[in-house]
Amino acid sequence: MAKPKPGAGSWLTTYADFITLLMTFFIVLYTLTTGVDKKKFEAVVSIFQDNKGVLERNASIKEHEIPIQRQRSKNWEKFEKMVKENNLEEDVKIDILPAGVKITLGENVTFKTYSAMLASGSKKILRLIAASIEKYTNEPLEAIQVYGNTDSRPVLGTGGKFTNNWELGAGRAISVVQFLISNSNIEPKKFEAVTFGSYHPIADNTTSTGRQKNRRVEIFIEYYNINLDTKDVNGLNSSEPKNMSHE
């Protein structure tokens, strides 16, 4: 029997490289296509994150995350539809994350200036959030963390109830938690109300547009997952992009 010539199997490496480049090309092409559901695409891409390579023998692709991401996305379809129908995309954002779901509510749909009293329009949104949490039973609920954020302008001298941004952020987080508890059957012990004050900005506090973006409430719906080793209060998972401070 003739021995194989040296390098006879080298074509496999070239072929594997070609397939990888071809896959990359179609992924890029897909992302440039109009009408692509960004969250569903990111759910698929996240499967490949933190792996050394798709073709490596020891690559640890977490196959169990695929159906979980799909289930979570499907559960929040009604909520996303309501956001789009009411043109609230700029003020209400939802992200499906490895550890759960993050919802960011802008000030326009939550509170008036220097106030922690919920605006009337926010109640419909919060009721739908509570309903979505209640009906989703595919994963055990670990916690619902609500974070109040403000911009950097001082509250002092406004004549209001709060004397600083820490208090304002706390008041807003507590208002959201109390409303969700009163309008759902979710166990109160699952909730956490936290204030970040002005210390977790996502935009430039020197501009009015940036300050408005910083004035927000973030709701993290966390599900129990023994496969997650680390958590980050800004994104439920340190490997995830952050999509998340006062008047």
Structure confidence by residue, pLDDT tens digits, 153-175: 999 766 678 999 999 999 999 99
More confident residue, 100 or 37: 100
Residue 230, pLDDT > 50, answer: no
Task: Write down the residue that tokens 């009337």 correspond to.
Answer: 120
* Average pLDDT for the chain: 81
Quick one: fold of 62-247? 60s Ribosomal Protein L30; Chain: A; (3.30.1330)
Which residue has 């509510």 as its token pair? 105
Residues near 112 by beta carbon (within 8 Å), at least 6 away in sequence? 119
CA distance 141 to 221: 8
Of 21-25, 31-35, 94-98, 191-195, give the range with the top mean pLDDT. 191-195
pLDDT digits (tens, 9 = 90+) for 181-224: 999 999 999 999 999 999 999 999 999 999 999 999 999 999 98
The residue extents of the domains of the chain are: 12-52, 62-247
Give the pairing of strands 100-106 and 141-149.
Answer: unpaired
Asked whether the predicted pLDDT for residue 4 surpasses 70, the reply is no
Quote the tokens at residue 114: 């220097």
DSSP state of 115: -
Which residue shows structure tokens 């989703």? 136
pTM summary value:
0.68
Q: Is 243 exposed, middle or buried (0-12, 13-18, 19+ CB in 10 A)?
A: middle
Where do we find the tokens 């080793």?
229
Is the pLDDT confidence value at 35 over 80? no
Sign of CA dihedral 236, 108, 114, 116: negative
